[in-house]
Amino acid sequence: MAVGTLTAFGQRNVEEIRREFLDTDSRVVLVASHRAVHHYFPENSLPAVREAIRLGIDIVEIDVKVSKDGVPFLMHDRTMDRTTTGKGDPEEFTFIELQKLRLVANGKETNEKIPALQDVLNLAKGHIMIDLDLKTDRLDAIMAVVKKTGTQNIAFFFDSDYEALAEVEQADADYMLMPRAYSEAMADSAIIRFGPEVVHIDSKFYTPEVTRLIKGNKARIWINALGEPDQKLRSGKVEEALSDLLRFGANIVQTDEPELLLDALKKAGRH
């Protein structure tokens, strides 16, 4: 499908998205685009974020590292071999050195550069919320950019390392957090420790008890469609995919198929 044939559902005001994000009683299921919209654009790139905004997606998940000279930028992997024309650990390079590289998508070089977090946050303002997946322990630089861009109201910090999240919380109690939990007990611990806005769970302990625990503590429930549910969306098994994802009350879904999921939720009256 050509880019021009994609369905645009209309840009949303980020304040409306934020209200829904903080309303744990809402029936609206929010859509989070994994590494932004990377079917037609490089993952973790400015065009991929721009496409998420165009489609009316609620949240973009981006992966954040910090360059040798302290500039936060977007990249998922430990090395830059897969997603750029360079090789090695990107955090060992200055940002100017990183800017000489080009992003790779589907094995092909593009004209896109590695984006600075500051540029992504400025692009997002007024349009979309941002899930900051922390891929570094150099958190001060990331928090400084969030404050500089005035995006504390739309950006939230995600990690399975609770000490990292504690560092963020200690820096500013108003920062929004999403701890990763790997069991009901861990979800309970995360809630007690942080009182977070959202808790990331997975299918192996996705139960009514867990969702009652999280919603009872005024947090949203994030679950991934990555893998089998996304494949069901691609193959047209939409009702089955939604049943898998929503059966116990999850109300934020991260997907590699944001357009398909958003369309399905709208038709089901859940967005």
Contact partners, residue 132, CB within 8 Å, separation at least 6: 62, 64, 142, 146, 155, 156, 157, 158
By three-state DSSP, how is residue 238 classified?
Answer: helix
> Is residue 36 a part of any domain in this protein?
yes
Question: Has residue 124 been placed in a domain?
Answer: yes
Per-residue pLDDT at 31 = 98
- In which band, very low, low, confident or very high, does the pLDDT at 12 lie, cut at 50, 70 and 90? confident
- The answer to whether residue 115 sits within a structural domain is yes
- Contact in structure between 153 and 83 (CB atoms under 8 Å): no
Looking at residue 136, its pLDDT comes to: 98
Tell me the residue range of the domain where 20 lies: 9-267
Q: Could you tell me the pLDDT band of residue 98, with boundaries at 50, 70 and 90?
A: very high
Tell me the whole-structure pTM to 2 decimals. Answer: 0.94
Average pLDDT, the chain: 95
Q: What is the pLDDT of residue 9?
A: 61
Q: Is 2 inside any structural domain?
A: no
**86 found inside a domain:** yes
Residue 122 is part of a domain; what is its CATH number?
Answer: 3.20.20.190
Residue tagged 């867990």 (tokens)? 210
What is the percent of the chain with per-residue pLDDT over 90, rounded to a whole number?
Answer: 93
Decide if 3 is inside a domain: no
**Does 198 fall in a domain?**
yes
Residue 1 lies in a domain: no
Domains of the chain: total: 1
Question: Distance between CA atoms of 10 and 104, rounded to whole angstroms?
Answer: 28
| Burial of residue 122 (number of CB atoms within 10 Å: 0-12, 13-18, 19+) | middle
Residues 169-208 have pLDDT tens digits of 999 999 999 999 999 999 999 999 999 999 999 999 999 9
